[in-house]
Amino acid sequence: MNLKTLGLNALTLAVLTGCQLAPEQQEIALPVPDAYASGAEQTQATQLNWQQFFNDEKLQALIAQSLEHNKDLQIAALNVQRVRGLYQIEDSALFPSLDINGSGSRQRLPGDLSSTGEPRINSQYSATVGITSYELDIWGKVRNQSAQALQTLYSTQLSQYSMQVSLIAELANAWLNYATDQQLLALAEETLTSQQSSLSLTQQSFDLGAASAITLEQLKSTVATAKVDIAKYKRLLKRDKNALDLLVGNSVASDLLPNASLNHLLDLPEVPVGLPSDLLTQRPDIKAAEHQLLAANANIGIARAAFYPSISLTANAGTASSDLSGLFDGGSGTWSFVPTINLPIFNMGRNQANLDVAKAAQQIALTTYQQKIQQAFREVADVLADREGYNAQLSALEQLVQSRQATFDISQARYDKGADSYLQVLDSQRTWYSAQQQLITGKQALLASKINLYKAVGGGWQVTSPAVQD
């Protein structure tokens, strides 16, 4: 039997006798209700990518910049590269490595060490091709090591997608915050201009004895309040800009900042919610947790294989000669075949402890997976409740603004006719101003709930198998 035949027989034996010690993942019941409590339509969710959902050109440009320059996303991409390399290392162990070796040595022996009593020089040259310590995967240890690394790679890639979804939603909300504070600032400045004009007229009337001191001081108070609001919103706009710069990874150009009112800022399409079971495929963070569970199952197989003997093969074939010129002469062929078996007998319970650790880690991964599902269900349910509540709230706020404006107009008319004091006008103006602020923040809340719903149901992540590049 030659070396090639012997090696093939050994490999055939490994394939025929190979077994899988990792547990198969059983179907897991969803730890959530079959439907959301919200009355929203729960048809099959369609996947909108972010370009379709965030259709504002300025926001699209910012999102594209963020996906390119955001440091957290860059770190996530580099981590994927690292894990891909680790997988390729583990996967390569499934196949024998073939090496070519060449060596030569010359040694002088003194006479007292030579068998002839005379000094001599020994020479040896060799050139071989061989396999070094190839482990036969009889118990599936190497396969499970490769599977564990592959599932970890999938999980890491999906975590990157999840971070991308979160980044896009966070950037959209930051952009919305800037627009909101910008509109609140404009409202405060408009109110201040009107109140300063009234203060000037009231001061003149007071100097002539036609206005009371309390009216004058009340008006000064409203002017000061508007100035406080202006200072606050200017401060918030600077913070909003800083947040945008950080998320994008570069300084945001002024022409990409929002400049429209919230009524025309974002025309977001409706997102079909789907059923809770849809979250298993729609959310990359849940898919990542699923692959972590599969990796934990493979780790159990690795730990179980440690209880069984391992067989490694070392083999080489080539030529050897005492003279370099005779290295390839007839009769200089050489070969060796060295199978090695290792049988664990006593290791102070280390193998059992490793198995216990692997089983505990698998239960942690299972619980984490279930927790991710529950968390996703709650996020969607909360956002659905927010969306319904904000829709109703916005309708009421619009009516409130109209009512407060009508009250102010009536108060102003009564004051002009001398039927009411200017204090009534100031009070109605203040409540109208407050109602307008509430309306702006209500519009922001509704738009934010739509953004958050888009994120909660998966953020437009397309359901595809993660790519593994060789």
pLDDT band, very low/low/confident/very high, at 103 (cuts 50, 70, 90): confident
With residue 229 as reference, give the H or E element that holds it: helix 213-248
Edge-first strand order for the sheet with 98-109 is 98-109, 120-136, 310-321, 333-342
- CB count within 10 Å of CB 375 equals 16
Q: What is the mean pLDDT of residues 363-384?
A: 92
- pLDDT of res. 8: 34
- CB count within 10 Å of CB 215 equals 17
Q: Which has the higher per-residue pLDDT, 282 or 199?
A: 282
pLDDT band, very low/low/confident/very high, at 3 (cuts 50, 70, 90): very low
- pLDDT of res. 31: 79
Do the domain assignments include residue 156?
yes
DSSP string, 396-431: HHHHHHHHHHHHHHHHHHHHHTTSS-HHHHHHHHHH
* Maximum Cα–Cα distance across the chain: 138
Flag whether pLDDT at 353 surpasses 90: yes
Q: How many percent of the chain have pLDDT more than 70? A: 88
Residue type, 455: K
Q: Which domain holds residue 145?
A: 20-94+139-308+349-456
Q: What is the mean pLDDT of residues 151-178?
A: 94
Do the domain assignments include residue 223?
yes
pLDDT band, very low/low/confident/very high, at 6 (cuts 50, 70, 90): very low
Three-state SS at 435: helix
The DSSP bridge partners found for residue 319 are 127, 333
- pLDDT of res. 50: 84
pLDDT band, very low/low/confident/very high, at 444 (cuts 50, 70, 90): very high
Q: Which has the higher per-residue pLDDT, 7 or 388?
A: 388
pLDDT band, very low/low/confident/very high, at 59 (cuts 50, 70, 90): very high
Three-state SS at 106: strand
pLDDT band, very low/low/confident/very high, at 149 (cuts 50, 70, 90): very high
- pLDDT of res. 81: 93
What is the distance between the alpha carbons of residues 425 and 201, in angstroms, rounded to a whole number?
14
- pLDDT of res. 226: 86
Do the domain assignments include residue 303?
yes
CA 343 vs. chain centroid, Å, equals 43
Flag whether pLDDT at 256 surpasses 60: yes
What is the distance between the alpha carbons of residues 179 and 173, in angstroms, rounded to a whole number?
10
Question: Average pLDDT, whole number, for the chain?
Answer: 83
pLDDT band, very low/low/confident/very high, at 346 (cuts 50, 70, 90): confident
- pLDDT of res. 338: 85
Contact call for residues 390 and 445 (beta carbons, < 8 A): yes
Flag whether pLDDT at 289 surpasses 90: yes
pLDDT in tens, 18-30: 567 888 887 777 7
What is the distance between the alpha carbons of residues 348 and 271, in angstroms, rounded to a whole number?
58
Instruction: Please provide the distance, in angstroms rounded to a whole number, between the alpha carbons at the two ends of the chain.
Output: 37
What is the distance between the alpha carbons of residues 39 and 45, in angstroms, rounded to a whole number?
15
- From residue 85, alpha-carbon distances to 158, 170, 464 in Å are 16, 31, 21
- pLDDT of res. 470: 43
Do the domain assignments include residue 63?
yes
pLDDT band, very low/low/confident/very high, at 209 (cuts 50, 70, 90): low
Q: What is the mean pLDDT of residues 322-350?
A: 80
- pLDDT of res. 177: 95
For the stretch 199-205, contacts whose Cβ atoms lie closer than 8 Å and that sit 24 or more positions apart, written own/partner, are 199/223, 202/422
Do the domain assignments include residue 322?
no
Contact call for residues 134 and 97 (beta carbons, < 8 A): yes
- pLDDT of res. 26: 75
Do the domain assignments include residue 112?
no
Do the domain assignments include residue 340?
no
Q: Smallest Cα–Cα separation from 277: which of 159, 368, 380, 169?
A: 380
With residue 191 as reference, give the H or E element that holds it: helix 141-207
Do the domain assignments include residue 405?
yes
Flag whether pLDDT at 17 surpasses 70: no
pTM of the model: 0.82
Give the count of domains, the chain: 1
**Three-class DSSP labels, 278-333:** HHHHHCHHHHHHHHHHHHHHHHHHHHHHCCCCEEEEEEEEEEEECCHHHCCCCCCE
- pLDDT of res. 40: 57
- pLDDT of res. 231: 95
Q: What is the mean pLDDT of residues 62-89?
A: 91
The DSSP bridge partners found for residue 125 are 104, 321
Contact call for residues 7 and 315 (beta carbons, < 8 A): yes
Residue corresponding to tokens 């996530």 = 76
User: Which of 234-238, 278-282, 457-461, 464-468 has maximum average pLDDT?
Assistant: 234-238
Flag whether pLDDT at 298 surpasses 90: yes
- pLDDT of res. 401: 93
Residue corresponding to tokens 């000061």 = 224
Flag whether pLDDT at 2 surpasses 50: no
- CB count within 10 Å of CB 130 equals 22
* Phi, psi (rounded to 5 degrees) for 367: -65, -40
Tell me, what CATH number does 161's domain have? 1.20.1600.10
